[in-house]
Amino acid sequence: MILILIGYMASGKSTLGRILAKKLNYEFLDLDDYIEANENTTISNIFKLEGEIYFRKKETFYLKKLLESKTNLVLSLGGGTPCYSNNMEMILNANNAKSIYLKASIPTLIARLKNEKSKRPLIAHIETDELLEEFIGKHLFERSQYYSLANATLSTDNKSEKDIIEELIVKLF
């Protein structure tokens, strides 16, 4: 079984994915890390040298490859992954996968992102909390139609990691 965590950046996909995988004795993979390892470069370099279209094609290629895996796996996707190249359709049609949308509110996302903007190329240039709120709001509006197609949705606001993991397990099994 492949358990796929989707959601906006800083929604907890990688952090919770590692915990969930350990609890279930599954392998954990972050799709961006997997792409970097297979391409021998960073996502930032791929964007800079090859462009977003090239990156999105590679992202779809590696997602498809992982969806064909027979390994028990918790897979954390990049925030944009479900929104491109019919990736969400591919996820929903995979017979060995379940997807869950980790939903965080805009205030929660701002609180998590404002001190780590330099680590996130997509928002590194945003200077104020107000502009960050506007950016996230616009992005969530565009992406929520894809995220909401997941097999299950779980709000992560004001919950401990332990509580979220327990809810995830109930929703997935």
Question: Taking Cα atoms as reference points, which of 2, 8, 1, 33 lies closest to residue 102?
Answer: 8
Is 14 flagged in the annotation as binding? yes
Is 32 flagged in the annotation as binding? yes
- Cα 41–Cα 55–Cα 128 angle in degrees, nearest 5: 90
Helix axes 43-50, 52-67, angle to 10 degrees: 130
Contact status, residue 84 vs residue 60, Cβ threshold 8 Å: yes
Is 15 flagged in the annotation as binding? yes
Is 112 flagged in the annotation as binding? no
CA gap 144, 2 in Å, rounded = 22
Contact status, residue 147 vs residue 101, Cβ threshold 8 Å: yes
Is 105 flagged in the annotation as binding? no
Is 99 flagged in the annotation as binding? no
Is 37 flagged in the annotation as binding? no
Query: Residue 64: helix, strand or coil by DSSP?
Result: helix
Is 10 flagged in the annotation as binding? yes
CA gap 47, 121 in Å, rounded = 10
Q: Where are the beta strands (DSSP E) in 45-149?
A: 73-76, 97-103
Query: Residue 49: helix, strand or coil by DSSP?
Result: helix
Is 21 flagged in the annotation as binding? no
Annotated binding-site ranges for ATP: 10-15, 120
Binding-site positions for Mg(2+) read: 14
- Residues annotated within a binding site for substrate: 32, 56, 79, 143
Binding residues: 10-15, 32, 56, 79, 120, 143
